[in-house]
């Protein structure tokens, strides 16, 4: 497949292209899905992103016809509780937690060395952001998310400034920008793309299946760059930006419809 970047607004519809794509997907498929903004709408707080029963039923059908993995910034144990579909494989913490088919979780050993710095940043930011209405932290073992979706537009620069000030004291950490969230992570050469590269042979030992990755965030671009070499990337499009995805869906509702049509076609219904 083509790995050349293009603007998100230029991507053709994945729904419209599905009949044609099915003719080229002859050796089996495997599905990789983001959670927030892909399977559920983007909401004000992470705990409000609850999977709809209809979507859970679709995932149950999907896992009966192909290997399926959820690739998310959330922790694996949180994803298991939210999704609650037997047979899925989970990649959490933007790739810092990876699960194999036996359900064993692999965490990067090097992460341990970064935990004291993450602890220190968390403490400083809890103090530094306390006076900014709407700003809140989400601590995960291997990362720290600074959410500012609920922050007034005039105060967002304060959040960004305080994050930069604190991080300047901890150059061993890195920042990944998401949708109204700053992800603070160990400064390792690791991301969703590297995790997907590790995961693909776990899900498809023969290397014959065609991987499909569906995601909505800038953090998914690393995964698109890996999948585009042999598979199909589908962006859940909210705004315009350069992407190596091949097709677009407009929202989680279209993702459900795409998966439903895909399942029906594979089952010959």
- Domains plus CATH for the chain? 6-108+190-267 (3.40.50.1000), 111-186 (3.30.70.1020)
- Cα distances from 170 to residues 12, 101, 178, 190, 238, in angstroms, run 42, 36, 20, 18, 32
Per-residue pLDDT of the chain (269 residues; tens, 9 = 90+): 678 899 999 999 999 999 999 988 888 999 999 999 999 999 989 889 999 999 999 999 999 999 999 999 999 999 999 999 999 999 999 999 988 777 788 887 789 999 999 999 999 999 999 999 999 999 998 999 999 999 999 999 999 999 999 999 999 999 988 889 999 999 999 999 999 999 999 999 889 999 999 999 888 999 999 999 999 999 999 888 999 999 999 999 999 999 999 999 998 85
15-22, long-range: CB within 8 Å, 24+ apart, which pairs? 15/249, 15/254, 15/257, 15/258, 15/261, 17/247, 18/258, 18/261, 18/262, 18/265, 19/265, 21/232, 22/262, 22/265
Tokens of 265: 């076609």
pLDDT of residue 269: 52
The catalytic site residues sit at 34
């Amino acid at each position: 497949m083509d790995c050349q970047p293009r603007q998100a607004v230029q991507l053709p519809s994945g729904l419209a292209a599905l009949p044609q794509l099915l003719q080229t997907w002859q050796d089996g498929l495997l599905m990789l899905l983001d959670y927030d903004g892909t399977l559920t709408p983007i909401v004000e707080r992470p705990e409000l992103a609850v999977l709809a029963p209809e979507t859970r039923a679709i995932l149950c059908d999907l896992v009966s016809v192909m290997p399926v993995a959820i690739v998310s910034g959330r922790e694996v144990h949180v994803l298991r509780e939210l999704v609650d579909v037997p047979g899925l494989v989970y990649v959490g913490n933007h790739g810092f937690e990876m699960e194999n088919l036996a359900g064993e979780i692999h965490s990067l050993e090097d992460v341990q060395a970064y935990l004291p710095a993450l602890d220190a940043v968390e403490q400083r930011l809890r103090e530094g952001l306390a006076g900014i209405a709407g700003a809140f932290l989400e601590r995960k073992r291997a990362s720290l998310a600074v959410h500012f979706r609920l922050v007034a537009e005039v105060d967002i620069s304060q959040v960004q400034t305080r994050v930069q000030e604190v991080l300047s004291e901890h150059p061993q950490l890195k920042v990944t920008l998401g949708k109204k969230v700053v992800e603070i992570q160990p400064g390792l050469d690791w991301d969703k793309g590297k995790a997907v590269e590790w995961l693909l042979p776990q899900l498809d030992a023969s290397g014959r299946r065609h991987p499909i990755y569906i995601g909505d965030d800038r953090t998914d671009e690393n995964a698109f760059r890996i999948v585009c070499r042999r598979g199909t990337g589908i962006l859940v499009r909210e705004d315009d930006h350069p992407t190596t995805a091949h097709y677009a869906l407009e929202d989680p509702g279209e993702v459900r419809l795409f998966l439903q049509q895909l399942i029906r076609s594979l089952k010959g219904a």
